[in-house]
Amino acid sequence: MSKKSVSLVFIVLSLLVVCDGTPLFAMCAGTNDSAEPTKPDFFQKLGEQCRNNTGSDDAFLVLMQSFENVSRCVLKFDVEGFNTDFEQLTNATRTAFFTKYCSEARPLISCLDGVLVSSRPCLMESGFKITKVFFESIPEALDLMCKNDGEIIFRMKDETRKKCFAQKGDQLQACVNTFTSSTIWNDDWNIELTPEKCSTLASYRECLKDPMDACDLSDIISIYDVSMNAMLRLTACGNNTVESTVETHQDNTTDEV
């Protein structure tokens, strides 16, 4: 899978929204070094919200330090080894692969604890509650990725699916661009969601899901749904949740690679 396609996987799964209208986190810097950053800049808007809520830049500086601490903390994960082993991954080695890397990834979730604490002064109470629910949903999302020796992720090793997904990169990027141009991203982040914005969220999910359906990779969106549903249930968009229909196999003999 190309570097661009791999980046897009993490973009579309990470572009989650704090559903009082606040984008929680977005890896929207693009898929290569020449891509222009998403506007409005995420951290610029975050800084504005911190100042609006606290009257100074102090809380924002503390929050930025927390983000830097996360970067240092996750360096414990052997990214180079992961990439090498993933390239060589086969059905015969996937049990060992996912046992190793899922075990190494789970403790890293605690790297985010400081960000949650530091974000509180910058968020309204409703926004903080939803942010907290998002962080609490991460272990479940990781468990789904690791379920049955990583079946959902392993399906991406199939050459036909891999080729198909690589061809959908521009389509997925267009979904991200449309979402970050919408009112849900650009309005005041403290504004509650309206039915129109709930519809935007539903449309965004379908936009991401369509190319995945075309490549027989529909189950990937279920990872996104874990965190999104947890947050939506606390908002006026609760009726827009989508329950997972993932039924992974009980053995790892399918999709031999």
User: 241 with 229: CB under 8 angstroms?
Assistant: yes
- Residue 38's pLDDT band, with cuts at 50, 70 and 90, is very low
Contacts of 100 (CB under 8 A, 6+ apart): 85
Residue 37 DSSP symbol: P
243 three-class SS: coil
How many CB atoms are located within 10 Å of the residue 205 CB?
Answer: 19
How many CB atoms are located within 10 Å of the residue 189 CB?
Answer: 23
Q: Pick 179 or 164 by higher pLDDT.
A: 164
- Per-residue pLDDT of 166-200, as tens digits, reads 899 899 889 888 887 877 766 665 566 677 777 88
Q: Is a pLDDT exceeding 70 seen at residue 133? A: yes
**Angle at CA of residue 159, ends 156 and 162, nearest 5°:** 45
* CA torsion through residues 89, 6, 108, 127, sign: negative
Q: Pick 36 or 227 by higher pLDDT.
A: 227
43 three-class SS: helix
* Alpha-carbon distances of 175 from 16, 179, 205, 229, 244, rounded to whole Å: 13, 6, 9, 19, 21
Q: Is a pLDDT exceeding 90 seen at residue 103? A: yes
Mean pLDDT comparison of 19-28, 80-89, 245-254, highest-scoring range: 80-89
- Residue 71's pLDDT band, with cuts at 50, 70 and 90, is confident
Domains of the chain, by residue range, sit at 42-122, 151-241
Alpha helix positions (H), 41-155 = 42-54, 58-73, 79-87, 94-105, 113-119, 125-154
pTM: 0.75
User: 227 with 16: CB under 8 angstroms?
Assistant: yes
Q: How far apart, in whole angstroms, are the C-alpha atoms of residue 96 and residue 88?
A: 12
Mean pLDDT score of the chain, rounded to an integer?
Answer: 77
Ranges of beta strands (E only) in 138-194 are: none
